[in-house]
Amino acid sequence: MLNRVRSAVAHLVSSGGGPPPRPKSPDLPTATSAPPAAPPEAPRSPPARAGSARAAPRKIAEARASFSRPTFLQLSPGGLRRADDHAGRAVQSPPDTGRRLPWSTGYAEVINAGKSRHNEDQACCEVVYVEGRRSVSGAPREPSRGQPCWPLQKEVTHESLVVGAIENAFQLMDEQMARERRGHQVEGGCCALVVVYLLGKVYVANAGDSRAIIVRNGEIIPMSQEFTPETERQRLQLLGFLKPELLGGEFTHLEFPRRVQPKELGQRMLYRDQNMTGWAYKKIELEDLRFPLVCGEGKKARVMATIGVTRGLGDHNLRVCSSTLPIKPFLSCFPEVRVYDLTQYEHCPDDVLVLGTDGLWDVTSDCEVAATVDKVLSAYEPNDPSRYTALAQALVLGARGTPRDRGWRLPNNKLGSGDDISVFVIPLGGPGSYS
């Protein structure tokens, strides 16, 4: 799947329907980084991606492709075995051989504590060219006499074109995965977090429960949000309300503070529907005894008691357990895209964009990440390119914890993350800046 994602990311910044951009070189997987200035007709756009996969059935997936890690890690067969060790959980980073990820971008990852056979996170980094083309749209025609004067064409900004291209790329990838499911029995799904730098702006696209933040002069700037049954409750409920056939008579789109019991028929209970952020009372009816469309809280929240994320790619085959009801109609492949204009601020070497999969954010807050950024970077010289890899490693180690008698623990003795953890740290200023 990773090669398809690379292709889609490389293609997403090209104009609609045009040929995909040329990679800088076939063996240069580069994380979001600033290349030297490119000629105006071919500005470069290096996107980075980190995503958390929902595994396909093992026999199908492994029969078609052997397991691999990001190529920029340059793991030997022995290194791959160490990276796959659930007991040791060694942190993996690109080797310090002088061929760093562009912009001195840092990266680190670690496998889970045994929840799945392999590390289901994946990451890729590419530098691509985007060829400019002259505008083909001219001035609007003069309206014919006797005809109503229609408003002029809407203004379409370059920024909105890039956002649209990213959104379209996610949709095209989802459609390709649907075709491969039908043609090759390749099943499963994944979340996706993508960063694209183009013409002075950083575009962060997220579909799933990975997240990104900017830490600038100690300030935290969220660049994405998690998409879960809780954060998208009203969208899910609205769909269930408009298309009750998707609920199959087994679920209700209404939400209650707890599961309604048959003995409570005719009684009043708090509820909320697709239009409500607060709670009100209603009389319990027979239909309210159905299982709720959205149930649980926090990381235990599920759509139709099945899946804990509401945006992502794939999962075209997913069904409610012991049912034929499909989950896919409630899962959106479209990302939220947030834009950060690098030209509006003077950035120092300690200003960074941090991307992390859910393994990081499950146990680490934004403030804790910002504190680690300050602590680690202050221990290195500003022009030391290894400081960002050291920061990525520190964030992964901080979320993983250390092994103790009762599993992996944090310094406060709380459980560390038992999930796969992947982190990119992208400097916004300093050596190799975006000039």
**For the chain, counts of helices (H) and of strands (E):** 8, 22
Confidence at residue 18, expressed as pLDDT on a 0 to 100 scale: 43
Confidence at residue 134, expressed as pLDDT on a 0 to 100 scale: 63
Confidence at residue 38, expressed as pLDDT on a 0 to 100 scale: 29
Confidence at residue 217, expressed as pLDDT on a 0 to 100 scale: 93
Span 139-187, pLDDT tens digits: 445 555 556 666 778 888 999 999 999 999 999 999 999 998 777 777 7
Confidence at residue 344, expressed as pLDDT on a 0 to 100 scale: 92
Average pLDDT (70-85) is 92
Is the pLDDT reported for residue 24 higher than 60?
Answer: no
The span from the CA of 427 to the CA of 33, in Å, is 8
Cβ pair 140, 150 in contact under 8 A: no
The span from the CA of 32 to the CA of 217, in Å, is 21
Confidence at residue 236, expressed as pLDDT on a 0 to 100 scale: 97
Greatest Cα-to-Cα distance within the chain, rounded to the nearest angstrom: 85
106-110 and 421-427 beta bridge pairing: antiparallel
Residue 188 — pLDDT band, cuts 50, 70, 90? confident
The span from the CA of 1 to the CA of 173, in Å, is 10
Span 312-354, pLDDT tens digits: 999 999 999 888 999 999 999 999 999 999 999 999 999 999 9
Name 236's Cβ contacts closer than 8 Å, sequence gap at least 6.
229, 253, 293, 294, 303, 310, 330
Confidence at residue 48, expressed as pLDDT on a 0 to 100 scale: 56
Average pLDDT (1-13) is 50
Confidence at residue 100, expressed as pLDDT on a 0 to 100 scale: 79
**Residue 72 half-sphere exposure, CB side, CA atoms within 13 Å?**
29
Span 234-248, pLDDT tens digits: 999 999 999 999 999
Percent of the chain whose pLDDT exceeds 70? 78
Beta-bridge partners for 196: 203
Stretch among 59-63, 403-407, 414-418 having the lowest mean pLDDT: 59-63
Element (H, E) at 423: strand 421-427
Is the pLDDT reported for residue 60 higher than 70?
Answer: no
- Name which of 433, 315, 392 is nearest 123 in CA terms: 392
291-292 and 251-252 beta bridge pairing: parallel
List, as one string, the DSSP characters of 25-75: -TT----S--PSPPPTTS-EE--EEEEEEEPPPHHHHHHHS-----GGG--
Helices 387-400 and 366-377, packing angle to 10 deg: 140
Is the pLDDT reported for residue 23 higher than 70?
Answer: no
Span 124-151, pLDDT tens digits: 888 877 776 665 454 445 555 556 666 7
Span 197-227, pLDDT tens digits: 998 999 999 999 999 999 999 999 999 999 9
Mean pLDDT of the chain: 83
Span 360-414, pLDDT tens digits: 999 999 999 999 999 999 999 998 889 999 999 999 999 999 998 778 999 988 9
